Amino acid sequence: MAFVASFILTLLTTLIVYAQEHQHPLTQHTALSIPPIGFGTWNLDPASGNATAAVSFAIQYGYRHIDCAAAYNNEKEVGKGIADGLRRVGLTRKDIWVTSKLWNDHHASDLVEKGLDTSISSLGVDYLDLFLMHWPVGPSPKGGNRIDYLDAWHAMEKLHQAGKARNIGISNFSPAQLKDLIKNSNIKPAAHQFELHPYLPQKDWVQWHADHGIHVTAYSPFANTNPTYGSHKDGPPPLLKNKVIEDIAKVRGCTTAQVALVWAVQSRGTSVIPKSKHEDRIRENLDSKKCVLKDEDLEKIEELGKKPTRFNNPGKDWGVKLYEGLEDS
């Protein structure tokens, strides 16, 4: 029995040390200490059980940043995975970073707190490390949608001051919208999450955030490799099958996914939130820290964004204009 107890203790210690070595928080651009490689939960199916299993495995393997959203309709299952993963490695809530997002239908001032409380309850936590406004879009009194963010943001400021959200931020804002928000608010967003990958590098926009102390989290780091975005006949090939990425991966002894993630973290200073339900890919993504790119690699990758391509823009379906003033608009 003594041998077994000693073995289990050694194994847990090894897992925790491994996780700490893999997840040094990013602090170079802002005061926000967020683990650079997060685990995304978009499209993890709550009905199949893979959401719970994937999140639990991710935490066991070393992820310390879980990205969630009310709109993903899987926060209860994700919360079960968080609890199971923490239990299995002997960690507690304070050892991980949890982000969630306010959906468009909760932008009214009296609904924002309800939205946050629902996410907190579903995830089984007592606070969020980061609470984002998912889109600068809310319901229009006349029906349909409209650009709408100030009232919701002011309500989010109060929730931050109450301690329910340690940090608050935004997602999918345009330059004009973000500047307007800052001008008319007491609290500047701590973070901005938006689509970012070699096909949509947005170098100047990323630098603007760094200059203003706003952390950037890149979603869809694998671009059009995600089948959710469908087929783009006139667009570039799937990012992870792009010959430039493949050649760099071969030379550096990495996978194409690792090249894409390291490009985001190493050269851009952003955090990333790749998603997978497969254990081998979950390992592969976090292990990207072992992949090191050279300046010549980064120069080749930059060429892929000469004609910026965005894959996530629901503006037409929602009847609003999004991303105005950005290079692909």
Residue positions annotated with a catalytic role: 72
In the sheet where 168-171 sits, what is the strand order?
A: 39-40, 65-67, 97-102, 130-133, 168-171, 191-195, 215-219, 271-272
CA dihedral 16, 19, 21, 25 (to 10 degrees): -120
Report residue 319 CA to chain centroid gap. Answer: 25
Handedness of CA 73, 79, 82, 84 (dihedral sign): negative
Calpha distance 19→48 (Å, rounded): 27
185 alpha carbon, distance to own chain's centre: 24
Token readout for 292 is 């090191």
d(CA 5, CA 7): 5
